[in-house]
Structures are given as structure tokens and as C-alpha cells.
């Protein structure tokens, strides 16, 4: 009998055929969550999840045969890693392949927020562009300003490479110095005080939850613009909404939210916020590369080979 593989969500661009020789495959054509996921995965040895599928103690307890969680994505905050470690469940993820797409999206949000792209689009569509007025809809100049990158790992550095093309001065926070031409490492509070743009690129961990607290948002440079392609819980969203409503912060570009797919009403009402539905890695090419990586890990582990990207 082949071991069972359960796939919680369709993986765009993933060819499941090579896995058919190794696994009995359940799921993969429609999203499975809650009781349906437990039902399909009850005797599964391997489980594929995405960042919205929580792998917690109740799920692990319901899946006694599970020995491999293959996560489609780089962030692993949705997985109780300690519980997996304690149970001896291997966890793999897909780092690297989504770096460029996520950095591109961070720049798209930065530019769209600074230049009021989404707001302008809405106004034009609604027939609100009725006169030529040079003082109307003015945005924030990007070229030559200062970008503070919070988290200077793979994605943060990819944002910096793109920002260099806009002559942005790069500041970053992180646990260690990274050799990056022209970039300067600063403590977070100092970075927030001077950055015109702040891009969040940290993983969500116990240390980064609410990293951008109300106190830190209050310390940001007046008129600054925040871009978040990391995780919603890195930011105090109530304090952020207040800072955007009062105009203390000029704008924000937000791709991630605390309780996705729920987006706080206060953000949805604000014209100076550009909202996207967690699209950081959302290109056809990247999502297909992530799928290939997940399928490769499943095959390697099933054949007794070491995984390439082991988290636990």
C-alpha cells in the first residue's frame, strides 16, 4: 500500500503525476480546510499546506501517521514548529524562489502608495477627473529619498537592489552587518525616525510580532510611507490605521493582514492605503516554482533522501 499524501490547496503549475508512483494522493484540486482537511488527511504520511493552513497541536493530534509537512511558501509562522519537533514531524518550505516576486511587489506597493496610483485609478474610473489642475493629486517623490528596510535577509536585500535603481538611500535593521553597497545598518528606532519609506521584510516570530508597535509608529518620520509584504501581525494595525487617518503617515501599501482574508474596515475606507490580497509571491512563474519545490521535497523524502529545505 502506498503512503497517503494530502494536499490542502491546489498548487498552480504543479505536476502531481510523478508523485502518483510514490503516494496515494488526496486533495489538490480544491481547497481543504477544517474537518474536511482532517478527514482527507487522517492517515496521511505527508501533508502539503500553505501559509493560511494552521498546523497546530489539534491538527497534529488528529493525524497520527504524519511525518512530513511540506509548506508551500517561505514563512512558517502558521506551523507549530515546537510541536512538530516534539512529534518528530519533518517540516520543509520553499525559500529563495519567491524572493524576486516578493521584492517586486514591495516596490510596486511603494511606488503605488507614493504616487497615489490606486486612488488615481479609482477617481478616473468614477469620472472624477474633470479638470486639469497642477495642484491636484500630488504624491511623494521617490527618487533620492531614504528607504528603511526592516529585516535584511533575502527579500530585504532584493528590495534594496531594486531601490538602488531609484537612487534611494538604504538603511536596514537586522541582527548582523550585511555587505551591501551604500547601505547602513541602524537600530530600528533610529531607522524609523529618518526613513521616508519603511519596508517590512521580517519573518513573523515571537520576536517580530507587533514589532511596529503603537510607540514605534509614533516615532516614524511624519509623512512616511509604510510597505508591508511580510506578515500583518508584525504591525499594530489599530495604531497604523490611526496614523494614516490623521495624515501623520502619508500612505501605506499593505499586502498582508493579521487575520487574512479579513482586512480591517478602517484600511478599506482610507484612500491613502493600497491594498493587495497577499500577492507577494503571486506570479505564475513563482507559484509554479514553489509547487515544483514542494513536489521535489515530497519525492526526496519519500525516497529516503534528505530534503533540501528543512525547517525542523
- Active site residues per annotation: 231, 260, 278
CA distance 167 to 7: 44
Among 280, 291, 293, 312, binds ligand DGY (CB under 6 A): 280
Exposure b/e, 247-270, CB count within 10 A at least 16 = b: eebbbbbbbbbbeeeebbeebeeb
CA distance 127 to 222: 32
Minimum gap (Å) between residue 146 Cβ and ligand DGY: 26
Q: Which of residues 28-67 bind ligand DGY (CB under 6 A)?
A: 51
151 binds ligand DGY, rule: CB under 6 A: no
| CA distances from residue 221 to 105, 150, 225 in whole angstroms, order as listed | 23, 15, 9
Q: Which stretch binds ligand DGY (CB under 6 A): 71-79, 127-135, 142-150, 241-249?
A: 71-79
Q: Which is nearer to ligand DGY, 51 or 267 (CB)?
A: 51
Contact (CB, 8 A) for 142 and 195: no
Beta strand pairing call for 90-92 and 68-72: parallel
Residues contacting ligand DGY: total by CB under 6 A: 7
98 binds ligand DGY, rule: CB under 6 A: yes
Provide the CA 245 distance to its chain's centre, in angstroms: 24
Among 59, 74, 249, 263, binds ligand DGY (CB under 6 A): 74
Q: Which stretch binds ligand DGY (CB under 6 A): 70-78, 152-160, 173-181, 269-277?
A: 70-78
Minimum gap (Å) between residue 49 Cβ and ligand DGY: 11
Interface ranges with ligand DGY (CB under 6 A) = 51, 73-75, 98, 280-281
Amino acid at each position: 500500500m502506498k503512503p497517503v499524501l494530502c494536499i490542502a490547496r491546489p498548487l498552480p503549475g504543479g505536476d502531481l503525476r510523478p508523485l502518483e508512483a510514490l503516494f496515494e494522493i488526496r486533495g489538490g484540486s480544491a481547497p481543504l480546510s477544517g474537518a474536511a482537511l482532517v478527514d482527507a488527511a487522517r492517515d496521511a504520511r505527508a501533508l502539503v499546506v500553505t501559509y493560511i493552513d494552521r498546523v497546530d497541536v489539534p491538527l497534529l493530534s488528529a493525524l497520527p501517521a504524519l511525518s512530513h509537512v511540506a509548506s508551500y511558501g517561505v514563512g512558517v509562522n502558521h506551523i507549530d514548529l515546537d510541536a512538530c519537533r516534539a512529534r518528530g514531524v519533518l517540516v520543509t518550505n520553499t525559500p529563495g524562489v519567491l524572493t524576486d516576486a516578493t521584492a517586486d511587489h514591495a516596490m510596486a506597493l511603494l511606488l503605488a502608495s507614493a504616487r497615489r496610483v490606486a486612488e488615481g485609478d479609482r477617481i478616473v474610473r468614477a469620472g472624477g477627473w474633470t479638470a486639469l489642475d497642477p495642484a491636484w493629486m500630488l504624491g511623494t517623490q521617490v527618487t533620492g529619498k531614504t528607504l528603511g528596510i526592516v529585516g535584511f535577509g533575502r527579500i530585504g536585500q532584493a528590495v534594496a537592489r531594486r531601490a538602488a535603481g531609484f537612487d534611494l538611500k538604504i538603511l536596514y535593521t537586522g541582527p548582523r552587518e550585511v555587505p551591501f553597497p551604500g547601505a547602513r545598518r541602524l537600530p530600528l528606532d533610529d531607522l524609523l525616525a529618518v526613513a521616508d519609506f519603511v519596508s517590512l521584510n521580517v519573518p513573523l516570530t515571537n520576536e517580530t510580532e507587533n514589532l511596529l508597535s503603537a510607540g514605534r509608529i509614533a516615532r516614524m518620520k511624519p509623512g512616511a510611507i509604510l510597505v508591508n509584504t511580510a506578515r500583518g501581525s508584525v504591525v499594530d494595525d489599530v495604531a497604523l490605521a490611526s496614523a494614516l487617518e490623521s495624515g501623520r503617515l502619508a500612505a501605506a501599501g499593505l499586502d498582508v493582514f493579521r487575520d487574512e482574508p479579513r482586512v480591517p474596515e478602517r484600511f478599506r475606507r482610507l484612500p491613502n492605503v493600497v491594498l493587495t490580497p497577499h500577492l507577494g509571491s503571486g506570479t505564475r512563474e513563482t507559484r509554479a516554482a514553489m509547487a515544483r519545490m514542494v513536489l521535489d521535497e515530497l519525492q526526496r523524502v519519500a525516497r529516503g533522501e534528505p530534503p533540501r529545505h528543512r525547517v525542523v
